[in-house]
Structure 1
Amino acid sequence: MGVPALFRWLSKKYPKIVTNVVEEEQRYAPTGEGREDDGQADGEEKGVPIPIDISGKNPNGEEFDCLYLDMNGIVHPCTHPEGKPAPETEEDMMLEVFKYTERVVNMVRPRKLLMMAIDGVAPRAKMNQQRSRRFRAAQEAREKEEEMAKALEEWKKA
């Protein structure tokens, strides 16, 4: 669930913690098939991606010792993305999580520590509460639909 207003408090107390990030461009090795300009549209793969060398200087001009990641902030958007279909298999979900995590690590390039915090399984009581909330919401939606149908019938009779 997180700590309410923690980010706002931190960013007000320490305004320098929020900065723009320069991302190193992904480079590609030619696949050997066809010419260099093989007529592919922009955005299509241009060959085999070359891993970014994070041992070099950080393109942001600042070096970081540690990076602490709350993986819930990565897992949820990767498994329920906005603007594109959700991954079909668990393997696809994991690949999306790995790809995004690697992107963040490549941006920050921590030199000493990478800490990834992952919540465990939800406690049984919380799962039961969420299930009953979903059932209640579905029942209320059904009742509302029946009331609307009944009101429409009465309106048509009048």
Structure 2
Amino acid sequence: MGVPAFFRWLSRKYTSLIVNCVEEKPKEVNGVIAPVDSSKPNPNDVEFDNLYLDMNGIIHPCCHPEDRPAPKNEDEMMLIIFDFIDRLFSIVRPRRVLYMAIDGVAPRAKMNQQRSRRFRASKEAHEKIEDMARIREEVLSNGMHLPPEKPKGEHFDSNCITPGTPFMFKLAECLRYYVHDRLNNDPGWRNIKVILSDANVPGEGEHKIMDYIRRQRGNASFFFLLN
């Protein structure tokens, strides 16, 4: 939710909040990877009705990870996002609703904060490149040896993960294709309701999820589902 150290505080105050889960792994059969059958009972001996995903918590780690090499291009990013959702789905195995919410246009106060932070980060990155070039030139002018510069690869600007960019439009299209593919081909998806709230819908992901949950409480069928 963008609150620094909030999860650490929450997990320390409520230690039973985090539990271990059993995760089935895809198996290799005759050289072919067989995906997990999510239509089978949950291996954790508990069934879940709904799964709500704040997609920005998935998109950022998949597009510019900190613990592994970055994806080569946007197509590879999309495949990593699909694999991540598949993994979460196979662990939880919702039986009624899958809600995926991508951050839309933020409120004005947060928008101003985001702009300030992004402009500052862009300026600092530009200044770092200039400083490195200047230091390298000074070292070479003094007759010292330096290893050749690494060739610059394709750089992914994480600032494009924001509403209104071509990247977010492409992501929404790819997720729609992904959902249709899973609904048609994955037995675990066939009887659930899938909702994708992309960046064209205003509001942050967690706010859209909570708004959906509150509106369901006013639905006449809500109390029937509880029974």
The residue aligned with 1:131 is 119
Map 1:54-93; keep pairs closer than 5 Å: 54-93=38-77
Question: CA separation of 1:20/1:76 partners in 2, compared to 1, >3 Å: closer, same or farther?
Answer: same
Q: Distance in 2 between matches of 1:20 and 1:61?
A: 13
- The code of the aligned residue for 1:23 comes to E
Q: Which moved more, 1:97-106 or 1:49-58?
A: 49-58
Q: How does the TM-score come out when normalised to structure 1?
A: 0.65
Greater share of helix: 2
Cα distance in 2 for partners of 1:141, 1:51 equals 44
Q: Which has the higher contact order (CA 8 A, sep 6+)?
A: 2
Shift of 1:129: 4.9
> Which residues of structure 1 form unaligned runs of 5+?
31-46, 147-158
Q: 1 CA distance for matches of 2:12 and 2:115?
A: 35
TM-score normalized by the length of structure 2: 0.47
Give the superposition deviation at 1:134: 2.9
What is the number of residues matched between the two proteins?
Answer: 133
- The structure with the larger Rg is 1
Given the superposition, is the C-alpha separation of residues 115 and 6 from structure 1 closer, same or farther in structure 2, using an over 3 Å criterion? farther
Letter in structure 2 aligned against 1:135: K
Whole-angstrom CA distance in 2 between matches of 1:14 and 1:96: 32
Per the alignment, residue 19 of structure 2 pairs with 19
Q: Does the residue aligned with 1:77 lie in a helix, a strand or coil?
A: helix
Structure 2: 5+ residue stretches without partners: 135-227
- Output the aligned Cα RMSD: 3.3
- 2:17, 2:101 → 1: CA distance? 20
Give the Cα–Cα distance (whole angstroms) in 2 for the partners of residues 113 and 133 of structure 1.
Answer: 38
